[in-house]
A and B are shown apart, each in its own frame.
Chain A
Amino acid sequence: MEDKVKEKIKEIIINKEVDGFLVLKRYFNYVVPYLFTEKNLEDLEELSLEEVKYPLARIILKIKKFYPDKKFGILVRGCDEKHLIELNKYKKINLKELYLLGINCSKNLALKCECPSPYTKIANISFGERVEGKNFEVFHKDLSFWLEKFSRCIKCYGCRSICPLCFCNNCSLEEELLVKRGFLPVDYPIFHLVRAYHLAGRCIECGLCEETCPAEIPLRKLYKEINEKFYQIFGYKPGEDIEEKHPLEFLEEEVKEKYGI
């Protein structure tokens, strides 16, 4: 499959469909995200589809900021695509200007990530056969479990720094009266409650935050449970469809009608 992907990317770059392609590349013993352009096409040999998770949506956002008028392609798995769909809703990125090269995840990656949909839906092209994801049942824990976990937080802001959906220019977690600064343990559970609220109905459960948390707090499981409840209340799932809007971010038509908005 890797060769087919290499061919495709080379072809797209050569006939100038995109100026740069963000994929994973081997760097000695590690696999890291890398931007292929026509200048470094020879590195394509080092392209790798190893199943390591990096916040590709966040990286493409940063690249776009430096090269606003350039067109880019990006390797997406199910979760990256969902990130981009959400980011499109907030005008952070325009999916039409992005070439999505989909890679469907393998069975064991799907199981490792407990992913319900380990495949891409709206990618321009996708490789690898689709594996049916499993909907893992939500694990509910009581308050003392969570307080013990939150008490370990060393305030590294990693959960915020790695999440592609955390795009604010100023973070309310740094508001002194909300979360005291310069203290360990962090004011809990307010630090984690605030972030849980920001992600309610937005988090696509990719698990990047859980993997980067030095205190081993099972954040993804918490956000999954919240999303589950969110779906029961509003019947809305994030990362599914560009047109759908988050229930807390608009007024229903009949409300607008009634109040002349």
Chain B
Amino acid sequence: MEYKLVPSICPYCGCGCGILMEVIEGKLVGTLPLKTHPINKGKLCIKGWSVHEFVYSENRLRSPMIKKGDKLKEVEWDEAISYAAKRLLEIKEKYGPSSIALISSARCTNEENFLMMKLARYVLGTNNIDHCARLCHSASVIGLIKTFGSGAMTNPIPHLEEAKTILIFGSNTTEAHPIVATHILRAKDKGANIIVVDPRKTHIARIATKHLQIKIGTDIVLINGMMNEIIKQGWEDKEFINNLTEGYEELKKTISKYDLSYVAKVTGVNEKDIYETAYLYTHQKPSSIVYCLGITEHHYGTDNVISLANLSMLTGNVGKPSTGVNPLRGQNNVQGACDMGCLPQYLSGYQKVSDDKAREEFEKFWKKNLPKEEGLTVEEMFTEALKGNIKAMIIQGENPLISDPNISRVRKALQNLEFLIVLDIFFNEMTEIADVVFACSSFLEKEGTFTNTERRVQYIPKVIEPIANTKPDWQVISLLGSALGSKGFSYDSPEEIFNEISQLTPIYRGISYERLKRYPLQWPCKTRLDPGCEYLHKDGFVRGKGRFIPIEEKEPFEIPDEEYPFILTTGRVVFHYHTATMTKNSPTLNKELSSVYIEINPEDAQRLKIEDGEKVKVISRRGEIEIKVRITDNVSPGLVYIPMHFSESPVNVLTSHEPLDPQSKIPPYKYSCVNIKKID
């Protein structure tokens, strides 16, 4: 007879909530919140409460498979590994290392992401490694490194409680980061002003103190307008600007033409609200900015992020408690994946691949020369695959056939490959077209560490034995690495991998399993005694001086016309998570919401004579889908919204993969033009 509650970290969003897995006789039976965890303090969203439900789903991958003819056949591990290694070596010989690309999973542990990076650079000799951060917060990483010097969330989540004003840009917080919303609501209960800037009347917008229902994609104009007003009124923090920043004069010149009336006309927000928001942001201090994909997923996402950085530096609202510019990272370990260097231009710890001194550290440690020039980003990988330059891909825990824009293009690219390896825990669209499928164990079946959105590295223990014939990802990659002839993959526990990480990554140097088991640590944590860094830029910016980069207003890449009169935007729903591979297989979540819908404004619905619950056809320049209608005033006339989670009518058939943001190569998810037709 055995019953135990094992603490772990929720595998879904970036909040990194503490959960307790109920285990009876080695079998998962339930999930409880961890009452004493610093972030969620015993609270969970609906996904948190049903973490145990997906583990025993019959759609779980049970053993490795190789595609024979057009059917996947279950094989033993050694056969699958050796076959995969043989084919990879052939392709590497024939087309060279840069013909192989890897996509790591932001849902796997830091150790596993590090091994994927090591497999790419150390074994295969290519920098073609990227992951889904590209599609969500790569703009934040690039934008904040350019302005502050560090691309991560500046202040921790609990700091939000003490903020007097919180500006929420493009974040459906109660649905995408529910426990972050809890801290915001606590601040509201203490009298803070919560101002939401979002084209949609999301749930957080309805419960905030003020909602600026901005026209989609005009954030830069609004922010420049606010900054201009602040300077005109003399509310800027002059002392902060002079001592800690540079480039203020050019900024002042560029934004001078954004006066209130112009900004009101472009953004559709009335002047009084803009003035009031600027006033509150500068007077009700400390003020904090929280933002999500509504800012980053545009083809000028990085500029949006830079504008937010400008606004915070202009008013001295950064580098202090309860302030800062806080990107809410989507995945449970997307921050960790970035930290581990699964980015084409960065080694682990944001050390540039092209920076010889940093790269030599790695080469000295691994005793092998590493490729110098930057690799391909996710979208570039598919473009190159279409051209035939990429022959083989290894995709770990990712479903581009749902989550990447312009799905038909992605499908053609993947079919154009000679060899595709997929590591996942569930059957999904990717396992159908893969040549080799590695059945991996879920986060409850292996030990490791996650890093949540506020740079907090947290330890997760092994709760249950791997189910059926699955193996943890780090063992799979190690086997593959050794099979590819490399000697650097003989680890027998994730702790060993982590020790190698902390040696090679300055911001993780002080972190170890022994410390993590006692309490989580926020990087940068330089030494064994370093208590971790609660908030960044405490005494001066990481890059020395904060840099103002003036940003001009941007034009959308396609304008609504008669053929495609509506603007479509996408986003999340609290009941499901990303491509819903796990949440669709959790009965409680699937019962709550099992089919997708398109939100249409009542006036538009009336005009098109569409009834609530009716199925309509939605067409864009990239493709078309049929989808059920939900008439609601969440969206303003001319704007429609489809959540991203559902495979039966994936919204990303409609979205466009280009133009990419020049700096961070992020595709413009949040904006595409579509048309809606009744089905007779």
User: Which residues of A approach B to under 8 Å, CB–CB?
Assistant: 19-20, 22, 27-35, 37, 39, 52-55, 59, 62-63, 66-67, 70, 148, 151-152, 154-158, 161-162, 174, 181-182, 184-185, 211-216
A136 and B446 CA atoms in complex are apart in Å by 47
A123 and B591 CA atoms in complex are apart in Å by 41
A28 and B460 CA atoms in complex are apart in Å by 12
Contact present for A158 and B49 (CB under 8 Å):
yes
The answer to the question of B43 belonging to the interface, with a C-beta cut-off of 8 Å to chain A, is yes
Known: A156-B48, A174-B591. A27 touches B35 (CB 8 A): no
A34 and B23 CA atoms in complex are apart in Å by 11
The answer to the question of B2 belonging to the interface, with a C-beta cut-off of 8 Å to chain A, is yes
Minimum distance in angstroms from B208 CB to a CB of chain A: 10
A69 and B450 CA atoms in complex are apart in Å by 41
The answer to the question of B518 belonging to the interface, with a C-beta cut-off of 8 Å to chain A, is yes
Instruction: Name the residue on A nearest B37 (C-beta).
Output: A30
Within 8 A of A (CB), among B146-204: 174-175, 178-179, 181-182, 185-186, 189, 203
Contact present for A158 and B44 (CB under 8 Å):
yes
Within 8 A of A (CB), among B509-552: 517-519
Choice from A31, A70, A151 contacting B207 with Cβ under 8 Å: A151
Contact present for A155 and B206 (CB under 8 Å):
no
A183 and B101 CA atoms in complex are apart in Å by 40
In the complex, 17 of the A-B residue pairs with CB atoms within 8 angstroms, ordered by the A residue number, are A28-B518, A30-B34, A31-B36, A32-B7, A32-B34, A37-B2, A39-B2, A66-B24, A154-B174, A155-B574, A156-B43, A157-B588, A158-B43, A162-B32, A181-B591, A182-B575, A211-B35
Write out the residue numbers on chain A whose beta carbons fall within 8 Å of the beta carbon of B42: 211-212
The answer to the question of B33 belonging to the interface, with a C-beta cut-off of 8 Å to chain A, is yes
Contact present for B3 and A20 (CB under 8 Å):
yes
Size range of the chain B interface in the assembly: 35 or more
**Chain B 23-60 per-residue mask, 1 if CB under 8 angstroms from chain A, else 0:** 01100011011111100111111101100000000000
Contact present for B185 and A215 (CB under 8 Å):
yes
Contact present for B44 and A154 (CB under 8 Å):
no
Choice from A29, A52, A63, A162 contacting B3 with Cβ under 8 Å: A63
Minimum distance in angstroms from A134 CB to a CB of chain B: 24
Known: A156-B45, A215-B182. A35 touches B174 (CB 8 A): no
Contact present for A182 and B593 (CB under 8 Å):
yes
Contact present for A54 and B35 (CB under 8 Å):
yes
Contact present for B186 and A216 (CB under 8 Å):
yes
The answer to the question of B71 belonging to the interface, with a C-beta cut-off of 8 Å to chain A, is no
Minimum distance in angstroms from B224 CB to a CB of chain A: 32
Contact present for A20 and B182 (CB under 8 Å):
no
Write out the residue numbers on chain B whose beta carbons fall within 8 Å of the beta carbon of A34: 3-5
Choice from B32, B41, B45, B178 contacting A54 with Cβ under 8 Å: B32
The answer to the question of B592 belonging to the interface, with a C-beta cut-off of 8 Å to chain A, is yes
A185 and B181 CA atoms in complex are apart in Å by 13
Contact present for A154 and B45 (CB under 8 Å):
yes
Known: A53-B35, A211-B35, A212-B33. A154 touches B1 (CB 8 A): no
Which 3 pairs across A and B sit closest by C-beta, in order of nearness? A182-B593, A35-B3, A184-B203
Write out the residue numbers on chain B whose beta carbons fall within 8 Å of the beta carbon of A212: 33, 42-44
A52 and B34 CA atoms in complex are apart in Å by 10
A27 and B5 CA atoms in complex are apart in Å by 9
Write out the residue numbers on chain A whose beta carbons fall within 8 Å of the beta carbon of B175: 154, 184
The answer to the question of B360 belonging to the interface, with a C-beta cut-off of 8 Å to chain A, is no
A53 and B36 CA atoms in complex are apart in Å by 10
Instruction: Name the residue on B nearest A151 (C-beta).
Output: B207
Minimum distance in angstroms from B251 CB to a CB of chain A: 37
The answer to the question of B246 belonging to the interface, with a C-beta cut-off of 8 Å to chain A, is no
The answer to the question of B553 belonging to the interface, with a C-beta cut-off of 8 Å to chain A, is no
Instruction: Name the residue on B nearest A31 (C-beta).
Output: B36
Instruction: Name the residue on A nearest B29 (C-beta).
Output: A62
Contact present for A35 and B4 (CB under 8 Å):
yes
Contact present for B36 and A154 (CB under 8 Å):
no
Write out the residue numbers on chain B whose beta carbons fall within 8 Å of the beta carbon of A29: 36, 517-519
User: Which residues of B approach A to under 8 Å, CB–CB?
Assistant: 1-7, 18, 20, 22, 24-25, 29-30, 32-37, 40-46, 48-49, 174-175, 178-179, 181-182, 185-186, 189, 203, 206-207, 517-519, 573-575, 588, 591-593
Instruction: Name the residue on A nearest B40 (C-beta).
Output: A214
Known: A154-B174, A155-B46. A30 touches B24 (CB 8 A): no
Contact present for B1 and A37 (CB under 8 Å):
yes
Write out the residue numbers on chain A whose beta carbons fall within 8 Å of the beta carbon of B22: 59, 62
Contact present for A214 and B179 (CB under 8 Å):
yes
Instruction: Name the residue on B nearest A184 (C-beta).
Output: B203
Contact present for A28 and B36 (CB under 8 Å):
no
A34 and B22 CA atoms in complex are apart in Å by 10
Contact present for A154 and B186 (CB under 8 Å):
no
Contact present for A154 and B189 (CB under 8 Å):
no
Minimum distance in angstroms from A221 CB to a CB of chain B: 13
Known: A152-B174, A156-B44, A211-B35. A20 touches B206 (CB 8 A): no
Write out the residue numbers on chain B whose beta carbons fall within 8 Å of the beta carbon of A158: 33, 43-44, 49
A62 and B517 CA atoms in complex are apart in Å by 28
Choice from B2, B5, B518, B574 contacting A32 with Cβ under 8 Å: B5
Write out the residue numbers on chain B whose beta carbons fall within 8 Å of the beta carbon of A32: 5, 7, 20, 34
Choice from B6, B18, B33, B592 contacting A181 with Cβ under 8 Å: B592
Write out the residue numbers on chain B whose beta carbons fall within 8 Å of the beta carbon of A62: 22, 24, 29-30
A33 and B33 CA atoms in complex are apart in Å by 12
Contact present for B2 and A35 (CB under 8 Å):
yes
Minimum distance in angstroms from B267 CB to a CB of chain A: 26
A63 and B1 CA atoms in complex are apart in Å by 10
Minimum distance in angstroms from A31 CB to a CB of chain B: 7
A162 and B592 CA atoms in complex are apart in Å by 19
Extra contacts, 6 of them, besides A29-B517, A55-B32, A155-B574 (Cβ < 8 A), are A52-B36, A66-B25, A67-B1, A154-B45, A156-B45, A214-B43
Instruction: Name the residue on A nearest B18 (C-beta).
Output: A30
A184 and B519 CA atoms in complex are apart in Å by 34
Write out the residue numbers on chain A whose beta carbons fall within 8 Å of the beta carbon of B178: 154, 156, 214
Write out the residue numbers on chain A whose beta carbons fall within 8 Å of the beta carbon of B1: 19-20, 35, 37, 39, 67, 70
A156 and B203 CA atoms in complex are apart in Å by 14
Known: A63-B24, A181-B593, A214-B178. A27 touches B7 (CB 8 A): yes
Write out the residue numbers on chain A whose beta carbons fall within 8 Å of the beta carbon of B593: 181-182
Contact present for A154 and B32 (CB under 8 Å):
no
Write out the residue numbers on chain B whose beta carbons fall within 8 Å of the beta carbon of A181: 591-593
Known: A30-B7, A152-B207, A154-B181. A214 touches B36 (CB 8 A): no
A27 and B19 CA atoms in complex are apart in Å by 13
A55 and B186 CA atoms in complex are apart in Å by 24
Write out the residue numbers on chain B whose beta carbons fall within 8 Å of the beta carbon of A52: 35-36
Minimum distance in angstroms from A59 CB to a CB of chain B: 8
A182 and B588 CA atoms in complex are apart in Å by 11
Minimum distance in angstroms from B245 CB to a CB of chain A: 37
Contact present for A182 and B592 (CB under 8 Å):
yes
Contact present for A30 and B36 (CB under 8 Å):
yes
- The listed residue with most B CB atoms (<10 A of its CB), out of A54, A62, A154, is A154
A148 and B189 CA atoms in complex are apart in Å by 11
Contact present for B182 and A214 (CB under 8 Å):
yes
Write out the residue numbers on chain B whose beta carbons fall within 8 Å of the beta carbon of A148: 207
Write out the residue numbers on chain A whose beta carbons fall within 8 Å of the beta carbon of B182: 214-216
A216 and B41 CA atoms in complex are apart in Å by 12
Write out the residue numbers on chain A whose beta carbons fall within 8 Å of the beta carbon of B519: 29
Known: A33-B5, A154-B178. A216 touches B574 (CB 8 A): no
